[in-house]
Amino acid sequence: MYADILPALRCPQCTHAPLTLLGPLEEGGEIVAGALHCPACRTQTAILDGVWDALNDQPVAHTPAQLTNYFPPTARVYEPAWRWLALTLLSGRRFPLREELLLLRELMQPQPGQLYLDDACSAGLYARALAQSGAVVVGIDHSFPFVREARRRARQRGLRISFMRATAQALPLANGALAGVGMGGSLNELGDQAGALAEVRRVMQPHGRFFCMNLVAAASGWGRLLQRMLGTGGIEFPGITELNQQFAAAQLRPRAQWVWGVVAITLLTTENQAEHVAAHS
């Protein structure tokens, strides 16, 4: 992790901010070891191998789908074996990764020096795309293998991204700290989706932008059967109406929404005024 995100952090136990950095060891400007101390509740959390563990090494996986993310081989093969082809298979049309990332950048409009989050980042795909614009980027995931893989890929490309181990339902970030949040496919696996969306709303600035790609309920019989089977592993597939109701409950306002097959991409903001929704299928 990097020192420029320290003012945006808060204690994962009592939510106090700011935190005190203890005993940092830096390599090339990155804090690779040390600890963050909360002066209010005295909680101390470690920075190890460049990753801040806001969960203090506590396991948080509760479903089979989440448990598979704790295996290092899953983290290593996720992008090359699945993620690059996922939207083409799920949307029913040719949907290359470069198109998804172009849409992410065009809708998020990341600004140099502004802070953005790749929420439930897996191997850090969105984090890398946002960092290429010069934005300050942090990636958060509950899986140590995934955040370590995300850091490896970022360093391999010379990108300056901070990574943390935390849950999407308890982001260790201050209120209104972020200019934008991206979440690529993870909403279906989180369990407490309402809690995760409420956290997105809390940490974004006024007029912040939230780019959410997730899967929705299938229309075909075979698709619904497959989704019911996957549901036993803890993966949820809301209908598009239910999804938009969840956004509204979190006070997130849709600006645009596309649905291709079971793939939904939605741009949302924290603005209070009513927004025109451009729906596409």
Which pLDDT score, from 0 to 100, does residue 190 have?
84
Query: Which are the contacts of 106, defined by CB distance < 8 A and separation ≥ 6?
Result: none
Q: Which fold has domain 55-280?
A: Rossmann fold (3.40.50)
Q: What is the mean pLDDT of each run of 10 residues along the chain (281 residues)?
A: 96 95 94 97 96 87 75 90 90 94 96 96 97 96 95 97 96 97 90 92 95 93 86 85 96 95 95 49 49
CA–chain centroid gap for 53, Å, is: 16
Which pLDDT score, from 0 to 100, does residue 278 have?
47
Render 25-93 in DSSP notation, one character per residue.
EEETTEEEEEEEE-TTT--EEEEETTEEETTTT-----SHHHHGGGSHHHHHHHIIIIIHHHHHHHHSS
- The verdict on pTM exceeding 0.75 is yes
Which pLDDT score, from 0 to 100, does residue 61 have?
65
CA–chain centroid gap for 241, Å, is: 22
CA neighbor of 230 nearest in space, from 189, 186, 185: 189
Which pLDDT score, from 0 to 100, does residue 277 have?
46
Which pLDDT score, from 0 to 100, does residue 275 have?
43
> For a pLDDT cut of 70, what percent of the chain falls above it?
95
Calpha distance 103→108 (Å, rounded): 8
Domain borders along the chain are 55-280
